[in-house]
Amino acid sequence: MKTLIRHALSASLFTSLGLAAAAFAQDATVTISSPADGAKLAATAPIEIVFDVAPGPRGDHTHLYVDGNEAAVLRQLKGSHKLEPLASGTHELCIKVVNKNHTPIGVDKCVKVDVQ
């Protein structure tokens, strides 16, 4: 009987810890309001990324990535950032929430744009 109770308590504890970790990650959000996913952009113009971030309890700031490569560290949580014009083709722009050690916490938002 004691073993059964221990197993039930262990399962309950692990479930609670898992839900708590998920809740912390869900407290963080990233919104990219411009450019829209699938937007067609001119190859000759700078790209302005407009964003809004709630870093949650585990996040500190964000990093901006272009095609998987870090392009900028964004300390402001709401605003915009200008990128130099990109080469023609499809590109992925991502903003990732990171902690003070610059490690992504698993919360991000990406949009794909078509530069022509």
Which tokens is 108 given? 């991000």
Residue 18 located in a structural domain: no
CATH number at residue 73: 2.60.40.10
Residue 59 located in a structural domain: yes
Positions of the chain with pLDDT lower than 70, given as ranges: 1-26
Residue 9 located in a structural domain: no
Give me the pLDDT at residue 116, please: 96
Boundaries of domain holding 50: 28-115
Q: Beta strand 61-66 with 104-115: parallel, antiparallel or unpaired?
A: unpaired
Query: What is the count of structural domains for the chain?
Result: 1
Residue 98 located in a structural domain: yes
Identify whether the C-beta of residue 63 lies closer than 8 Å to the C-beta of residue 76: no
Give me the pLDDT at residue 3, please: 58
Give me the pLDDT at residue 13, please: 45
Give me the pLDDT at residue 14, please: 47
Residue 1 located in a structural domain: no
Residue 107 located in a structural domain: yes
